[in-house]
Amino acid sequence: MAGVLRQLANAGVPIDLVPRDWAEAILAGAVKWLVNTPGGLEEITALLKLQAYRGNSENSYFVTDENETKSSEVSPDDITFVRGVFAQGEAIPFERLSMSPKERQQCDDCGVVAHCLVDVRDPSTDKIKSLCNGCITLHENPRIKDLGGRDICQRCSSLTCPHHPNRSTVRQRSYS
């Protein structure tokens, strides 16, 4: 509600003249329409530049209730998948996004093959080494240590990396 009132004020609407209970009721109605009606879903997907596509008739779809106790079959015609991209906080059409895998190399210290390597000059040998973020973070030299950080490993999507704090041996599903 505060965000909506801020937007109204930014648009020049004197918010003191808008009864708060009216604004709350209008906002609740708009959200309900956006989320629960075909027209609202069309509107929100257009506003957020999302792609919507129907379920495939070659598949069976089952929806589990909130308590995860009962599963019901749903017609493919009643299934809508939505795909979208937010880049730097802005909704963009999926077609405007280009992706390519990062190059993976082997860390000169621990031997892990990863995409987070940084070339650093080793102060003890004065040679350039390629080190992964895990080895950079644990390095004894403060200058090298400052080039990495635990948050880099925390945000990384490679959960099979031995340095990832939430390491998983199960191969993760990709939804891209």
Q: How many domains does the chain have?
A: 3
- State the pTM of this model: 0.54
Contact 135, 161 (CB under 8 A): no
SS3 label, residue 153: helix
For residues 94 and 110, state if they share a domain: no
Domain identity same for 16 and 58? no
pLDDT tens, residue by residue, 111-123: 999 999 999 998 8
- Domain extent for 10: 1-36
Q: Say if 163 falls within a structural domain.
A: no
Q: Is 42 part of any domain?
A: no
- The model's pLDDT over 29-45, given as tens digits with 9 standing for 90+, comes to 999 998 898 889 889 88
Is residue 174, in this structure, part of any structural domain at all? no
Distances (CA, A) of 87 to 51, 69, 110: 15, 37, 34
Nearest alpha carbon to residue 106 among 135, 84, 63? 135
